[in-house]
Amino acid sequence: MMKVLLTGGAGYIGSHVAVSLAAAGHDIVCFDNLSNSRAAVIEHVEAITGQPVPLVVGDIRDRDAVRGAITDHGANAVIHFAGLKAVGESVADPMKYYDNNVRGTLSLIEAMVDCDVRTLVFSSSATVYGEPQYLPLDEAHPTAVTNPYGRTKLMIEEMLSDIAAADPAWRIAVLRYFNPVGAHDSGLIGEDPNGVPNNLMPFISRVAAGRLPELAVFGDDYATPDGTGVRDYIHVDDLAEGHVAALDRIRAQDDALSVWNLGTGQGYSVLDMISAFERINNVRVPHRVGPRRPGDVASCYASPDRARDELGWEAKRDLDAMCASTWRFERTAAMRNA
Ligand code: NAD
Ligand code: UD1
C-alpha cells in the first residue's frame, strides 16, 4: 500500500486515477491549484470511494508547498498530472507552458528529493511521437514535436531520463497517453473543459446536448478509410487502471525509468465516433465537414504490447462504454446545474 500525492488530482484524468488507486487500496492526497478544475470534484471522488480525500490547494511551482504536502501526509510516491494542455494556447503563449509545465516539474522534483521520495509516474502524451513514421506507434518510435505543448512534454521526458541516469534510486514511469475519453460510470466525474472544447469527444457531447449548434469535422480528405482523422480513443477508467499497474511495476523492478504507451491499439475515425455516439445514446450530433486543423495528423494509434507484456494491463472498455459514460456525465452535470 502506497500513500500517493496526485498533482493535478482535481483534474479530468487525476480524479479518475484517484478513484482507481483508492479501489486498489492505496491512500491518496490531491494537490492542485484549481486553475482548470474545481474543489467540488474532490467531493465527488469522496462520494465514489466512500472515504475522505484530502485536497491541498497549491501550485507545483511552490517548492515549499509541495514539500509541506508530502511531509504532512507522509506521501511516498507522486503521480504528476498537473500541467496545461491546450495546444493552441501553447502556440500563443509558450512561456506560460514552459513556466507551468517544465519549471513546475523541475520544482516538483526538487521538493521530492528534499523529502527523499523518488517514485514518480508522469503524464506524457502520444504527441511526443510527432508525425507518425509508421503505425502502430511503439515506444521505440522516434520522438518529435510539433508545438510548444508537445515540446514541454518531451523536455520533461528528457529531464526525467537524465535524472534517472544520474541517480538509480529513482523509480519513474513515463506514461504516453493516446486519446483519453469517457467518464466514471457514476456520472459524477468526467471531462468538463472551460469554454469551447478543443477535443472531439467533449465537443460531440455538447452538440448532442444542444449546448453547441454543430460539430465541425476537421477535414475529410485524409488518407484514412473514410477520409477523417483516426485516433486511439481510450476509456479514462482503463487509463486510470494503467496508472495503478505502472505504480505497482516500478516499485517491484530495478529500472530507474520506464516508458509505456497507454492506448488500445484500435483506431476510430471522427465519423466512427459521431455515429457511435448517436447510436449508443439515441441522440443526434449535427455536423459539417470543414477545413483541416493545422498540425493534425491523419492517423495515430498505439502499439499497446509493451504495457500488456510488462504491466499485465490492457484496455477492457469498448467504444460503446466510452460514448455511454460521456453522455451519462453530461446529463448528470446538467441535472446538477439545473
Ligand atoms: P486537466 O486540466 O483536467 O487536469 C490538470 C490539473 O492540473 C487541473 O486540475 C489543474 O487545475 C492542475 N494544474 C495545472 N497547473 C498546475 C500547477 N502549476 N500547480 C498545481 N496544479 C496545476 O487535464 P487532464 O486532461 O486531466 O490532463 C492531466 C495530464 O495529462 C496533463 O499533464 C496533460 O498534459 C496530460 N495529458 C492529457 C491528455 C488528454 O487528452 N486529456 C492527453 C495526453 C496527456
Ligand atoms: C489533441 C492534441 C494533442 C493532445 C490531445 C489531448 C492537437 C493538434 N493535438 O490531440 O497534442 O495531446 O489533444 O489533449 O491539438 N476533431 C474534429 N472536430 C473537432 C475536434 C476534433 O474533427 O471539433 C478531430 C481532429 O481533427 C482529430 C480527432 O477529431 O482527427 C481528435 O481530435 P482531438 O480530440 O483534438 O485530439 P488530437 O488531435 O488527437
Tens digits of residue pLDDT in 141-156: 999 999 999 999 999 9
The confidence score (pLDDT) of residue 335 equals: 82
Grid cell in block for residue 27: 491512500
Q: What is the residue with the minimal CA distance to atom 30 of ligand 2?
A: 229
Ligand 2: does its nearest atom lie under 6 Å from the Cβ of 179?
yes
Closest Cα to residue 123, out of 8, 210, 281, 237?
8
Does the pLDDT at position 205 exceed 90?
Answer: yes
- Band (195; pLDDT cuts 50, 70, 90): confident
What domains, with CATH codes, occur in the chain? Answer: 3-182+233-264 (3.40.50.720)
| Alpha helices (H) along 124-232 | 148-166, 200-208
Q: Any catalytic annotation for residue 268?
A: no
| DSSP codes, 281-316 | HT----EEEEPPPTT--SEE-B--HHHHHHH-----
Is any ligand 1 atom within 6 A of the Cβ of residue 12? yes
- pLDDT at position 10 is 98
- Sign for the pseudo-dihedral over CA of 6, 11, 17, 21: positive
Return the minimum-mean-pLDDT range out of 54-63, 256-265, 301-310, 329-338: 329-338
Ligand nearest to the CA of 33: 1
Question: Quick one: pLDDT at residue 206?
Answer: 97
Q: Is the pLDDT of residue 123 over 80?
A: yes
**% of the chain with per-residue pLDDT over 70:** 100
Cβ(215) to ligand 2 under 6 A? yes
Burial code (b: 16+ CB inside 10 Å, e: under 16) for 177-191 equals bbbbbbbbeebbbbb
Tell me the best of 5, 16, 17, 35 to mutate to test the pocket of ligand 1, counting ligand atoms within 8 Å of each CB and taking the most.
35
Catalytic residue among 149, 222, 233, 301: 149
Cα 170 to chain centroid distance, Å, stands at 22
Signed CA dihedral, 242, 55, 45, 236: sign only:
negative
Asked if pLDDT for residue 103 goes beyond 90, the answer is yes
CA dihedral sign of residues 84, 87, 89, 91: positive
pLDDT band at 333 (very low <50, low <70, confident <90, very high): confident
- What are the cell numbers at 307? 504495457
User: Which residue puts its alpha carbon closest to atom 34 of ligand 1?
Assistant: 85
Which residues touch 254 (CB under 8 Å, ≥6 apart)? none
- What's this model's pTM, rounded to 2 decimal places? 0.98
pLDDT band at 194 (very low <50, low <70, confident <90, very high): confident
